[in-house]
């Protein structure tokens, strides 16, 4: 059983769970076919935490199709390496409705030859959506990967008004 979450947001495809440290959100788990029926207990005292409400409001707006940047949600990305934190920070700056390549993100962090490492760092992103790694695609315009599954990535891009793209294996 997982540690109690500080946050739960229900969607038709299953609940999103979030965990907060003193510094901010350090983990966000989207439902997948494998975990969508797993129920994690939620700390009741967390409802009094303003960060929980900021995350709830941002997710509610996001899934209603409202341009959302999650800027009011404080993050704790200390679990990542210095490189991962740089990648996650740069990814967080990619605005709604914009997609870039792994190579472009590598250039933005002054590591132009590190596209593959950028992809690996994004694969370890502990807070998908808030750090919008779904907006980064392979250099050929294909989806690449997404830790929560390519169906999520397609759906999130479509929600933000971006035309569907082919998967990496298409």
**3-class SS at 61?**
helix
Average of per-residue pLDDT across 146-155 = 86
Q: What percent of the chain has pLDDT over 70?
A: 89
Q: Two tokens at 14?
A: 């299953």
Q: How far, in Å, CA of 139 to CA of 117, rounded?
A: 14
Which among 120, 113, 119, 159 is positioned nearest to 136, based on CA atoms? Answer: 119
Radius of gyration of the chain (CA): 16
CATH of the domain at 153: 1.10.10.10
- Is 86 in the same domain as 155? yes
Query: Which tens digit of pLDDT belongs to each residue from 140-150?
Result: 778 888 878 88
| Residue 19 in domain | yes
Q: Two tokens at 158?
A: 């479509």
| Residue 155 in domain | yes
The active-site residue out of 58, 118, 121, 133 is 133
Domain with 46, as residue range(s), is: 7-63
| Residue 42 in domain | yes
Q: Look up 148 and say whether it is catalytic.
A: no
- Is 50 in the same domain as 96? no
Query: Which tens digit of pLDDT belongs to each residue from 47-76?
Result: 668 888 999 999 999 999 999 999 999 999
Q: Kindly report the average pLDDT of the chain as a whole number.
A: 88
Helices (H) and strands (E) in the chain, counts: 5, 5
| Residue 101 in domain | yes
């Amino acid at each position: 059983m997982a540690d109690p979450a500080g946050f739960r947001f229900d969607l038709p495809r299953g609940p999103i769970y979030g965990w907060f440290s003193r510094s901010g959100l350090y983990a966000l788990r989207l439902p997948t076919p494998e975990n969508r029926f797993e129920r994690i207990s939620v700390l009741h005292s967390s409802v009094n935490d303003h960060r929980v409400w900021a995350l709830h409001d941002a997710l509610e707006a996001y899934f209603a199709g409202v341009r959302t940047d999650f800027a009011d949600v404080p993050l704790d990305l200390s679990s990542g390496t210095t490189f991962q934190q740089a990648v996650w920070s740069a990814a967080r700056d990619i605005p709604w409705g914009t997609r870039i390549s792994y190579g472009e993100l590598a250039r933005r962090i002054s590591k132009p030859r590190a596209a593959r490492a950028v992809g690996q760092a994004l694969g370890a992103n502990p807070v998908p959506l808030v750090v919008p790694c779904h907006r980064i695609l392979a250099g050929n315009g294909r989806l690449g990967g997404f830790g929560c599954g390519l169906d999520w990535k397609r759906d999130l891009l479509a929600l933000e008004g971006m035309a569907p793209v082919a998967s990496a294996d298409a």
